[in-house]
Structure 1
Amino acid sequence: MANEVATEVKEDLKEAAETRLDRLMAQGAAAVVDLSKPVRGMDHIPLRHPSASDLRGIKLLDLINMDTVSLELVVPRIAMNGFTKHDFLNLEPKDMFSIGLQVSGFFAL
């Protein structure tokens, strides 16, 4: 009985996560990065493709190389959930790396 309930809960959580992801993608998110440690209650960061104005003052090569100073400037500009520079600075290193991979991937040919 307990195993059945646990299975149902897991399935419900999976469906809710898929629904959330579908909703974010419909709103224009190009990628969603799940965080290993929530920041200000956020457990994921939806990112949209950067526009030219989002990249002002940034060297593209620095973004492609996942330079943290460049990422700390660009990520808050392209995050779709109020993610701030302060939030970025409080990320776990592996979450920062995951976000950097997504952002640098926006420039892949």
Structure 2
Amino acid sequence: MSDTTPENVIVLDQPIVRGTTTIDQIALRKPNAGALRGITLSDLLQMDVNAIVRVIPRISTPTLTEAEVRAMDPADLVDAGSVVASFLLKKSMKADLFPAT
């Protein structure tokens, strides 16, 4: 997947079962403005559950439903929310917050 990096792939502690398919990881791509429509960016930065639940189906591979995101393990939701929030930071801000070691 060209628009995701290993940091954007979330290995789920609690896999999502969809029929006979088990989803044990999801990849999140950086959202464009259209994927963020109707979402308050400050809510995403504050990791508001409702904002995260609305955005993840728009940027996940495989595409999750809102119901599947609402049923996610809290640890997995926090992990996904952290990735989404990091997408909203400029590269220079990320470098200041997370210096390379």
Q: TM-score range by the shorter chain?
A: 0.7 to 0.9
Q: Percent identity?
A: 33
Checking the alignment, whether the CA contact within 8 Å between 1:88 and 1:96 is kept in structure 2 is yes
Pairing 1:52–2:33 present: yes
Deviation at 1:108, TM superposition (A): 1.6
Residue identity opposite 1:63 in structure 2: L
Pairing 1:39–2:16 present: yes
Number of equivalenced pairs: 84
> Aligned partners of 1:92 and 1:54: how far apart in 2?
23
Q: TM-score, normalised by structure 2?
A: 0.79
Q: Which runs of 5+ in 2 are unaligned?
A: 91-101
Q: Which has the larger radius of gyration?
A: 1
Q: Which runs of 5+ in 1 are unaligned?
A: 1-23
Checking the alignment, whether the CA contact within 8 Å between 1:29 and 1:80 is kept in structure 2 is no
User: Superposed, which structure 2 residues align to 1:49-88 within 5 Å?
Assistant: 49-88=30-69
Residue identity opposite 2:37 in structure 1: R
Of Structure 1 and Structure 2, the greater helix share is in: 1
The one-character-per-residue Cα deviations of 1:2-60 (angstroms, maximum 9, x if unpaired) are xxxxxxxxxxxxxxxxxxxxxx3x3x224111100100211111010001100000000
Residue identity opposite 2:12 in structure 1: L
What is the aligned-residue RMSD (CA, Å)? 1.0
Q: TM-score, normalised by structure 1?
A: 0.73
Residue identity opposite 2:59 in structure 1: I
Checking the alignment, whether the CA contact within 8 Å between 1:46 and 1:81 is kept in structure 2 is yes
Deviation at 1:107, TM superposition (A): 1.1
